[in-house]
Amino acid sequence: MKEKNKFMPGKLLGGLIITLIILISGICWQVYHLLYSPDFANSKDACVYIDRETGFDSLCKQLEDAGCTRIKDFMFLAERLEYPDNMRTGRYAVDKGMGMLDLVNRLRRGQQSAIKVTFNNVRTLDELADLLDRQLMIGKDEILAIVLNPDSCLSLGFSAETISAIFLPNTYEVYWNISAYNLVQRMKREYNAFWNPDRRAKAEAIPLSPLDVSILAAIVEEEAALAEEYPIIAGLYINRLHKGMLLQADPTLKYAAGDFSIRRLLNKHKEIPSPYNTYLHPGLPPGPIRIPSIQVVESVLGYMKHRYLFMCAKEDFSGRHNFAVTQAEHSRNAARYHAELNRRRVR
């Protein structure tokens, strides 16, 4: 019996070691599962948004909606890493099958995913601010506070009348929580990059400044319903500028009246006392009457060379124009168009 007892301590020690190994393995598996196991059941990548008002509970709800199956584990890990008190604004990607530690670290470090911001076919800065407000964290008022501030405009090399030219309609990749100031600075860099030596040389050959090109492009875009007419209309207005003629651009009357919905311009509109009224004031107006597209700007730079000095909408209401070299020819075109307006009772 004494001989058998010699082996008892060894067996006990071996059992303890095996038990410890099992326990440690279990703990390691739990830790690994907590930190690295795929936790999101979403079928595709998703995103969560954190603005200045987003609390930790709200973020957890977004994560659940994005497919998080162990939100309590996320909360536990986030609290251990002191994340709830150090949340950063932004738009964060939640990748399909993402692990918990990767997610918390992404949030803690502010590793955002960029967003594509698009704006086009915009007339006013107010409309632009609305579009950006819907796509970014910044509010409309934050944007307008910069672009409507004369001092801010001056610091960017523009005036309150010309600042809209800084915004070139396109798609841009930015962070969702970009500040209004940084967004406008980004637009200034894009503007400078667009106006490279080649485009500046084309503008000088007209001769117009880059800003003048934008002002003329805005008129052309409002005047033309069809892109094929952009270079023709641009050439017409450039011909008038070269001859020292009044532009007599109808869209400038609508801008001066503050109403682009006007269907029929009358003589009273030609008397509106506004510097934008090109029936009264020679040359280009003080600033763009809309935010012109890049395509129209390029059409002005590459304008069609011809002899046209007059234009009138076609009487078939196709959106096209009848172009004329002489006043007499233009008067005949205009008479046909106005007769059709009367026939359709357009007032």
Tell me what pLDDT residue 32 has: 43
pTM of the model: 0.86
Tokens of 169: 């309609």
Share of the chain above pLDDT 70, in %: 87
pLDDT at 41 over 80: no
pLDDT class of 129 with cuts at 50, 70, 90: very high
Rounded CA gap, 190 and 209, in Å? Answer: 17
Q: Which amino acid is at 278?
A: T
Rounded CA gap, 281 and 277, in Å? Answer: 6
Tokens of 335: 């008479």
Tell me what pLDDT residue 29 has: 41
Tell me what pLDDT residue 36 has: 46
Tell me what pLDDT residue 346 has: 85
Rounded CA gap, 335 and 322, in Å? Answer: 12
pLDDT at 224 over 70: yes
Q: Which amino acid is at 183?
A: L
Tell me what pLDDT residue 4 has: 52
Tokens of 191: 């503007």
Tell me what pLDDT residue 95 has: 86
pLDDT 10s digits, 80-96: 999 999 999 999 998 88
Rounded CA gap, 303 and 296, in Å? Answer: 10
In Å, how far from its chain's centre is CA 105? 29
Spatial CA neighbour of 169 closest among 184, 181, 187: 187
Residue partners of 125: CB distance under 8 A and separation at least 6? 144, 147, 148, 163, 164, 291
- Between 336 and 17, the higher pLDDT residue: 336
Region for residue 258 given its phi and psi (left: phi exceeds 0; alpha: psi -120 to 50; beta: otherwise): left
Site of tokens 């070691």: 17
Tell me what pLDDT residue 35 has: 43
**What is 46-109's CATH topology?**
Dna Ligase; domain 1 (3.30.1490)
Tell me what pLDDT residue 70 has: 81
Residue partners of 173: CB distance under 8 A and separation at least 6? 114, 115, 116, 117
CB distance 279 to 246 below 8 Å: yes
Q: Which of 36-40, 99-103, 246-250, 338-342 has the highest mean pLDDT?
A: 246-250
Tokens of 130: 């609305």
Tell me what pLDDT residue 16 has: 53
Burial class (CB in 10 A: 0-12, 13-18, 19+), 250: buried
Beta bridge partners of 94: 46
Tell me what pLDDT residue 97 has: 77
In Å, how far from its chain's centre is CA 122? 10
CB distance 117 to 105 below 8 Å: no
Domain with CATH 3.30.1490 in the chain: 46-109
pLDDT class of 18 with cuts at 50, 70, 90: low
46-50 and 90-94 beta bridge pairing: antiparallel
CB distance 39 to 99 below 8 Å: yes
Give the CA dihedral 200, 204, 206, 210, nearest 10 degrees. 50
Give mean pLDDT, residues 187-206.
98
pLDDT at 222 over 60: yes
pLDDT class of 319 with cuts at 50, 70, 90: very high
Rounded CA gap, 36 and 34, in Å? Answer: 6
pLDDT 10s digits, 139-184: 999 999 999 999 999 999 999 999 999 999 999 999 999 999 999 9
Long-range (24+ apart) CB contacts under 8 A made by 63-72 are 63/94, 63/103, 66/40, 66/42, 66/94, 67/40, 67/41, 67/42, 67/43, 67/94, 68/39, 68/40, 68/94, 69/39, 69/40, 69/41, 70/39, 70/100
Rounded CA gap, 62 and 71, in Å? Answer: 10
Rounded CA gap, 214 and 124, in Å? Answer: 14
321-324 and 310-313 beta bridge pairing: antiparallel
